[in-house]
Every structure is written in structure tokens, then in C-alpha cells.
Amino acid sequence: MGLGRKSAWLGIAQVIELALQVLLPVLLVRHLTVEDFGSYRLLWLIAGTAATMLPMAMPDVLAVMLPSASVTRRRSLVAWSVLYMAVAGVTAGLICGLGLFLASNSLGLSALLLPAATFTSLWMFGVLLDYLPLADERPEWQAKVVICLAAFRAVAAGWAAFHFGQAEPVFWALVLTAAAKACLLLYYTQSQHSVLQAMPLRADLVEQWRRALPLGISGLLFGLRRQVDQWIVAAMFSVTLFASFSLAAVFGPLVFMARRAVSGVLLPTMSRLHTAGDIDALIETNHRANLAVAFIAFPVLAFIWCFGEPIYTLIYTDIYLDAVPVMRVLTIVWLVQVVDMNGLVLLFNKNGYVARINLPLLVLSAVLSAAGGLMFGIIGAAFGTVVSIVVERWLIVRCLASHLGISALAMQPWLDLVQRFSLCWVLGLLARALFEVLKGGCSVIVCISISALVAGAVYLGLCKLLGWFPKSLSIEGGYR
């Protein structure tokens, strides 16, 4: 199977996963009280923050280290990764449990302490399954797992909310899905790498840690920067407004998943190009990968931005309409994240630089979010995230351009990205105008569907005419 088809399979799987992630809150907001749903989102924030702090990029660097490693060394690296993530899982569960214990008196979360801590621990361990098959260049296997686990999670948690109407059974359902993922990870590592027979070498752990540490510090600071606005909203506003603010970011994983579907598949190939010294092909591959992500993400983000009110009313009810203006501000973040530089940062060993800039960016984000929240409410709390991500991308582009001795304009196909962005937003606005014309004569969902189909057909037709469809992949030469 070629890289293009592998990427497409993983992309489809992750779109399905995103759809199910969106569907689950649809069920929860209709069967949980506003307070219970807010507590559920707060528990996810606690769990997510603990998980952000601990992996330290140990799973990430496998995509760079495994492709060129011998069988014995691959087995050793995977064994160390499993052991590390097991320790990280236990630690994450303890952190989550301690956080809930300290907050239980004021927020009434004591009943959720055990399931939340157990889920966090198992979920943290299972994170390795999101990286290892891609490092093994088996995205088709990864795609099947993504779909099955996402469907299991949505069905189990949705049934628990529908049947019991409380947050605690929902979290026990999530524990079951996390346990299933952990078991799949153990099966995969044994069947593909025979980790039970491995003799992990200390030198492999040292080398993996040496590569991962700068990237891990950077990822930790970036993760905290991504979550600091939610912590500020949780501290400054009611649980209902926090729930709305958290729902504003529900479409954020779209860009991350599209990027992983393309960049995750390409990273081993980019590593080989870098080893061979073919820097031109490496940069061109990154360009085309980002254009492929833009091809998927731009029209969807434009549609969501233009249809914010009807989409959130239809999906989450009008109780959570406060999320719409926040979502529109956060769209700037998601657009900037289409330009993926992580692979180049890793290959050119600029992880230390990214780690150094992330600490001041974290402080900047926290200050701006707190000030924005005081002055403008929950929409202002998103300002810090927007400013920090824009500054971060600008600094990284300048750093890589300086390292390669080329201009910042040559680092990315900026004009092509702007052209695609402009077309998508024009079509999104025209689709919204069509919706306003149609909405008096049919239901909201039918009007949204018709508008989306018309805009989508026009978009695909124009992309075909302009030659904007993603091009095929060549293993050794990047995109053709």
C-alpha cells in the first residue's frame, strides 16, 4: 500500500474518531445536568493535564528511531517505551486522584475519584498505541484500532449517560474503553516486537531519552499552554461557562488528526530523506503535506466558523451558545496549526530551541488569558492561546530558515495556503447565505446539509480546476 493510500486510511479513521468525539457530548448534554456535564469536562481537564506532563515525547521519537534500527534494537526500544509509559500511567493516575481529592470538598467530586484516577492511569499507558504502529509503518492497522476504540468509547459512555443520567457511570464506562486500549497495546507489542523476550539495553534507553527530553519539555510546556486558558476559566467563572468554553474547543482535534494522518505516515520517510541528505526533497515533502492538511481542514474550519450558531444549537442545544464566539477566536489557532513544523524541528534537532521559547510563551499565554477573561469574559480568556501560537510558529519558522540558510518565505508555500484559505472562507460565507434563504422552508439539519453539499461540490470542482488536489507520494522522492 502506497503512502498516499495509507495516509488516506488513517485520515478517514481519525475523521470517524472526531465525529464520535463530537457525538458523545451530544448525548451527555441531553442526559446529564449542566453541573454534572461541567464536572465531567473538568475531570477531563485534570486527566488531560496529568497526561500532558508525563509522556515526555518518549513515544514520539519512535518514528525516527525505529525505521533504521536492527530487530534487536527495535525490540529494546519498544520494551523501554512500554515500561516508561506504564510508570507514567501509574503516576498520572496518582496525580489525578490527588487533584480530585483536593477539589472534592468544594466541587463534590469525591464519588468520581476512583474511576477518574483509574481511567487516567490506563489511558496514559495506552497513549503508546497512538504512536507505535505509525513508527512501524502500519497505519492501516492503526486505522482499524482507532475506529473500533472510538466506537466502543462512544457507545459505552453514551449508554451509561442515557441509562443512569449521572457522571460516575460514564467514567466507569471510560475505564472499560481505556482498559481495552491497554490490552490491545500489550497484544501488539508482544505480537510485533516480542517484548516479553526482550533484553532492554541501558544504552537504548539513554539514547531514546536524550532525543526525547528536549521535545518532551517543549511538548509539556506547549500542552500546559494549550490548557492554561481552560484552567483560568475554571477558576474565574461558573461551571456552566467552563462547560461552554470547553465545548468551544471540541473541533480542535480536527487539525491534529488531519496532521497525524499525513505527517505521522510521512515522518519515517522524511527521516530517511534527512539521513540521505536530500534536504530539498525533505522540505518539499513537508510543503505538500501541509497543503494536503489544508485541503481537508480549511473548508471544514470555514464551514464550522460560518455556521457556529446553528451547529452548536443543533448539536449541544442553545444552553451552550456561549461557546460560539470562543470557537471563532480559537479557529485562528487551528488555522495556524495547519502549518506543521514538528517533523522538521525533530529532524534538524531544534527541540532545545522550541523548549526554550515555550516557557516565556506559557507565561505570555497565561497573562493574556487572565487579563482577557477579566476584561471580556470567557471569549477574552482565549486571547492568550491565539497570540502565543502565532508567535510560536513565527519563531520556529525563523529558526529553521536560519539553520537551513533560506528565507522564511521559502519555508512554507505561504501564497498557496492563503489562496486556499480565502477560497474556503468565501464559500463558507456563501453557504451561510444560502442557509439563511432556505431555513424558513425546511428543518435546520436539512438546510445545513444542503448548504454543505452545495459548497462542498463547488469547492471540489474549483480544486480540480485549479490543480489543488493533494498529489501522490513517492517513498524516496517526497511528493511528485
207 domain residue, yes or no: no
- Residue 480 confidence (pLDDT): 38
359 domain residue, yes or no: no
Query: pLDDT confidence of 3, banded at 50, 70, 90?
Result: low
Q: Which of 255-259, 307-311, 331-335, 450-454 has the lowest mean pLDDT?
A: 255-259
Looking at the structure, do residues 159 and 255 belong to the same domain, yes or no? Answer: no
- Residue 97 confidence (pLDDT): 82
**Which runs of E-coded beta strand occur in 6-84?**
none
Residues 6+ apart with CB under 8 A from 127: 51, 55, 59, 85
Q: Which residue has the cell 530523506?
A: 273
373 domain residue, yes or no: no
Residue that wins the pLDDT comparison between 168 and 388: 388
Which residues are bridge partners to 474 per DSSP?
A: 478
177 domain residue, yes or no: yes
Q: Which H or E element spans position 374?
A: helix 351-376
- Residue 11 confidence (pLDDT): 63
Looking at the structure, do residues 177 and 263 belong to the same domain, yes or no? Answer: no
Query: pLDDT confidence of 469, banded at 50, 70, 90?
Result: confident
Q: How far apart are CA 369 and CA 386, in angstroms?
A: 9
Q: How far apart are CA 72 and CA 149, in angstroms?
A: 30
362 domain residue, yes or no: no
Which domain, by its residues, includes 431? 237-349+394-480
Q: How far is CA 316 from the centre of its chain?
A: 21
Q: How far apart are CA 255 and CA 43, in angstroms?
A: 24
DSSP class of 470 = P
Asked whether residue 451 carries a pLDDT value surpassing 90, the answer given is yes
Q: Per residue in 397-450, pLDDT tens?
A: 999 999 999 999 889 999 999 999 999 999 999 999 999 999 877 889 999 999
Looking at the structure, do residues 336 and 266 belong to the same domain, yes or no? Answer: yes
Looking at the structure, do residues 66 and 165 belong to the same domain, yes or no? Answer: yes
Residue 288 grid coordinates:
505538500
Looking at the structure, do residues 128 and 53 belong to the same domain, yes or no? Answer: yes
- Give yes or no for a contact between 67 and 104, defined as CB atoms under 8 angstroms apart: no
Looking at the structure, do residues 99 and 188 belong to the same domain, yes or no? Answer: yes
Pick the last residue of a domain from 176, 200, 224: 200
CA dihedral 444, 445, 447, 448 (to 10 degrees): 110
The CB density around residue 112, as the number of other CB atoms within 10 Å, is 24
- Residue 14 confidence (pLDDT): 66
Looking at the structure, do residues 286 and 192 belong to the same domain, yes or no? Answer: no
- Residue 473 confidence (pLDDT): 44
Q: Per residue in 72-101, pLDDT tens?
A: 888 999 999 999 999 999 998 888 888 777
Three-state SS sequence of 396-446: HHHHHHHHHCCCHHHCCCHHHHHHHHHHHHHHHHHHHHHHHHHCCCCCHHH
Looking at the structure, do residues 455 and 314 belong to the same domain, yes or no? Answer: yes
Q: How far apart are CA 156 and CA 173, in angstroms?
A: 5
Three-state SS sequence of 327-363: HHHHHHHHHHHCCCCHHHHHHCCCHHHHHHHHHHHHH
Start-to-end C-alpha separation, the chain: 17
Supply the mean pLDDT for the chain.
85
Mean pLDDT of 138-151: 83
- For residue 288, what are the CA distances in angstroms to 30, 291, 357, 414? 42, 5, 27, 12
Q: Which residue has the cell 491497554?
A: 182
Residue 457 grid coordinates:
461540490
116 domain residue, yes or no: yes
Asked whether residue 278 carries a pLDDT value surpassing 90, the answer given is no
- Going by C-alpha positions, the residue among 295, 12, 275 that lies closest to residue 150 is 12
Residue that wins the pLDDT comparison between 383 and 43: 383
Which residues are bridge partners to 479 per DSSP?
A: 473
Residue that wins the pLDDT comparison between 38 and 172: 172
Asked whether residue 478 carries a pLDDT value surpassing 50, the answer given is no
Q: How far apart are CA 452 and CA 208, in angstroms?
A: 46
When mean pLDDT is compared over 209-218, 260-269, 353-362, 431-440, the highest value belongs to 431-440
Side chain identity, residue 210: R
Q: Per residue in 341-395, pLDDT tens?
A: 888 887 888 877 887 888 899 999 999 999 999 999 999 999 999 999 999 999 9
Share of the chain above pLDDT 90, in %: 38
Looking at the structure, do residues 194 and 241 belong to the same domain, yes or no? Answer: no
Q: Which H or E element spans position 272?
A: helix 265-276
Query: pLDDT confidence of 461, banded at 50, 70, 90?
Result: very high
Residue that wins the pLDDT comparison between 448 and 274: 448
| Number of domains, the chain | 2
Q: How far apart are CA 253 and CA 183, in angstroms?
A: 25
Asked whether residue 472 carries a pLDDT value surpassing 70, the answer given is no
- Residue 475 confidence (pLDDT): 40
- Residue 476 confidence (pLDDT): 44
Mean pLDDT of 123-152: 86
Query: pLDDT confidence of 4, banded at 50, 70, 90?
Result: low
What per-residue string of b and e applies to 33-71 under the rule 16 or more CB within 10 Å gives b? eeebbbbbbbbbbbbbbbbbbbbbbbbbbbbbbbbebee
231 domain residue, yes or no: no
- Residue 175 confidence (pLDDT): 93
